[in-house]
Amino acid sequence: MTRILVTGGAGYIGSTATALLADRGYEVVVLDDLSMGHADAVDPRATFIEGSILDADLLRNALAGCEAVIHFAGKSLVGESVEKPELYHRVNVDGTQTLLEAMSIHGIDKIVFSSSAATYGQPIDNPITEESFASPTNPYGASKLAIDKMITSAGISAISLRYFNVAGAYQTTQGWLAERHNPETHLIPLVLRATEDNPLKIFGTDWDTKDGTCVRDYVHVVDLIEAHIMALGALKPHVHEIVNLGSGGGYSVREVISVASQVLARPVPAVESPRRAGDPATLVASIVKAKSLLGWEPTRALETMISDAVKSQAQ
């Protein structure tokens, strides 16, 4: 049976990957320091090791017998990265360096990496292709771009998957793997918890978009993980590919609110607020390469992402 190390396997996206890999018959080892993740989100079929990717000894143990790594572990809050750039460099970049060194010691040369659309920064054109100029506008995006370059230099079999906006949830036999960030900064979970007393703040209504609010490309977490599993099968010796993952289409903040109010069958309380620093007006992925290289196409619509998020928050 193929054994895979999933770093960050207790987080929202990593725990979904762990469960889906186990469903497909992979043997999974999870390494997570629980700084963001939750131990109860780790699939019981996986072997769970609590610790950091900065711990070289622990990594060497975790990698024993593994054929490949899916690497999710890392800091992922844009705002925090602006306040603590060194932390983001140390955990994300130095942590990945430690991981690559440990893989090399074990002769493991296959990695699928959780990169980000934040590597592109303010896009010149949409949809964004993998050839688009990468110029991150915050330390989080810069750390993901530095890792992508480090992986290229390592000369191993690698695919970096650049996520756009991930949403939705996966239901296992144990229950839903919900998005449980603290603090929560993402639009869809915040839309679902908005109340008259604590309405959703719409960050900017004067953007150059269809209705003045920001446009983003949302992809269901299960579709996203399907792409990771396909990526494992598409790795080629000594080749590092970069692949965008989104839906190929965009929704404005007001459109997300409107779909959510249909799903919830009630209005979503919202107020107009100033722009959020660092937000680009529009981010939409080109998914041409994901289709051609991985044979992947997302199948779950925004309505499904929102209704799955509702069910996962309700449990």
Pairing of strands 110-116, 215-216: unpaired
Query: How near is the Cβ of 190 to ligand UDP at its closest, in Å?
Result: 5
Site string for ligand UDP, 236-275 (x = CB under 6 A): -----------------x----------------------
Tell me: does residue 301 bind ligand UDP (CB under 6 A). no
Pick 43 or 217: Cβ nearer ligand UDP: 217
| CB-based closest residue to ligand UDP | 214
Number of residues forming the site for ligand UDP (CB under 6 A): 14
Strand partners, 121: 135
- Who's near 91: CB < 8 A, 6+ residues apart? 52, 53, 54, 74, 75
- Per CB under 6 A, which of residues 152..171 are in contact with ligand UDP? 165
Query: How near is the Cβ of 239 to ligand UDP at its closest, in Å?
Result: 28
Alpha-carbon gap, residue 248 to 252, rounded angstroms:
14
Pick 159 or 167: Cβ nearer ligand UDP: 167
Alpha-carbon gap, residue 202 to 139, rounded angstroms:
24
- Who's near 219: CB < 8 A, 6+ residues apart? 163, 164, 165, 166, 167, 245, 246, 247, 298
Site string for ligand UDP, 190-229 (x = CB under 6 A): x---------xxxx----------x-x-------------
Three-state secondary-structure class, residue 117: helix
Tell me: does residue 106 bind ligand UDP (CB under 6 A). no
- Per CB under 6 A, which of residues 173..192 are in contact with ligand UDP? 185-187, 190
Tell me: does residue 76 bind ligand UDP (CB under 6 A). no
Pick 150 or 190: Cβ nearer ligand UDP: 190
Q: How many CA atoms lie within 13 A of 147 on its CB side?
A: 38
Query: How near is the Cβ of 280 to ligand UDP at its closest, in Å?
Result: 8
Alpha-carbon gap, residue 67 to 145, rounded angstroms:
25
Query: How near is the Cβ of 273 to ligand UDP at its closest, in Å?
Result: 7
Pick 79 or 85: Cβ nearer ligand UDP: 79
Pick 106 or 186: Cβ nearer ligand UDP: 186
Structure tokens at 102: 């440990």
Three-state secondary-structure class, residue 136: coil
Alpha-carbon gap, residue 214 to 4, rounded angstroms:
37
Planar angle of CA 44, 42, 172, nearest 5 degrees: 70
Pick 87 or 190: Cβ nearer ligand UDP: 190
Alpha-carbon gap, residue 181 to 272, rounded angstroms:
24
Query: How near is the Cβ of 180 to ligand UDP at its closest, in Å?
Result: 15
Tell me: does residue 279 bind ligand UDP (CB under 6 A). yes
| Identity at 171, one-letter amino acid code | Q
Query: How near is the Cβ of 222 to ligand UDP at its closest, in Å?
Result: 18
Three-state secondary-structure class, residue 200: strand
| Residues assigned a catalytic role | 140
Tell me: does residue 276 bind ligand UDP (CB under 6 A). yes
End-to-end Cα distance, the chain: 33
Q: Which residues bind ligand UDP (CB under 6 A)?
A: 165, 185-187, 190, 200-203, 214, 216, 253, 276, 279
